[in-house]
Amino acid sequence: MKKELKVTPGIFPMPVLMIGTYNEDGTVDVMNAAWGMAQSMNQLKLCLTESHKTVKNMKRTHSCTVALGTKDLVVESDYLGMVSGNTVTDKFEKTGLHATKSEKVEAPIIEEYPICMECKVIDFEEDGTLVEVVNVQAEEKYLNSDGTINLNEVGIISYDPYGHGYYVVGEKIGQAFSDGKKLM
Ligand SMILES: Cc1cc2nc3c(=O)[nH]c(=O)nc-3n(C[C@H](O)[C@H](O)[C@H](O)COP(=O)(O)O)c2cc1C
């Protein structure tokens, strides 16, 4: 028997997206966002609160990077979702993480996160910010010989909208567009 729960956007897993931007003085800001998704083959929609430092930075630079949170960086990722660059000017510095400048967009790539999308802002829409993914980078050690990513190894985490937990996404259990053929 099923029980009714409090209404929640109950899709699990939700992502843990680490959005990197440059502040006006060239320092780095990163925020955590779970409300984001693929919008088309090369676009993402990010639902970001207008007052965040990240949004102010994106309005100025029309750029951001979007990295995927990993289990080794849970503490840093959560901290970056609780503290704002609006009030803590050395927010990123306090994490001890490192950044290099993207060659494609005006935004920082955070070295410690193994998968990173470099993005250009297309539009600030009412239901979220639409960005174009212009490049994707992944740590070589996680790449399979065919260029796909060995996701069993990366330790990507997801956000749980029911209990606010972080969970590791792992173990491959099937192949899309393939397993279903058994019933065709
Ligand atoms: C797990 C988690 C998920 C979050 N998801 C979002 C989100 O999708 N959109 C948003 O605007 N803020 C989200 N936040 C809050 C921001 O990360 C937080 O307000 C942050 O301090 C903003 O940083 P900034 O002002 O330096 O940009 C999330 C925080 C956490 C911990």
If you measure from the C-alpha of residue 2 to the centroid of ligand 1, how many angstroms do you get, rounded to a whole number?
32
Comparing CA positions, the residue from 122, 97, 96 lying closest to residue 108 is 97
State yes or no: cis peptide before 13, omega within 30 of 0.
yes
pLDDT at residue number 6: 92
Q: How far is CA 88 from the centre of its chain?
A: 21
Measure Cα distances from 127 to 35, 50, 130, 134, 172 in Å.
11, 11, 9, 22, 33
Which of 37, 52, 86 gets mutated to test ligand 1 (max ligand atoms within 8 A of its CB)?
52
In a domain, 9, yes or no: no
pLDDT at residue number 59: 98
In a domain, 5, yes or no: no
Tell me which residue range forms the domain holding 85: 14-183
In a domain, 38, yes or no: yes
In a domain, 4, yes or no: no
pLDDT, one tens digit for every residue, the chain (184 residues): 999 999 998 999 999 999 999 999 999 999 999 999 999 999 999 999 999 999 999 999 999 999 999 999 999 999 999 999 999 999 999 999 999 999 999 999 999 999 999 999 999 999 999 999 999 999 999 999 999 999 999 999 999 999 999 999 989 999 999 999 999 9
Q: What CATH number is given to the structural domain containing 153?
A: 2.30.110.10
pLDDT at residue number 170: 83
Domain count, the chain: 1
**Residue nearest atom 31 of ligand 1, based on CA coordinates:** 81
Residue for token pair 């289990």 = 71
Q: How far apart are CA 20 and CA 102, in angstroms?
A: 10
Task: Provide the whole-model pTM.
Answer: 0.97
In a domain, 102, yes or no: yes
In a domain, 157, yes or no: yes
Amino acid at 57: N
In a domain, 7, yes or no: no
Amino acid at 18: M
Comparing CA positions, the residue from 167, 9, 22 lying closest to residue 100 is 22
**Residue nearest atom 18 of ligand 1, based on CA coordinates:** 81
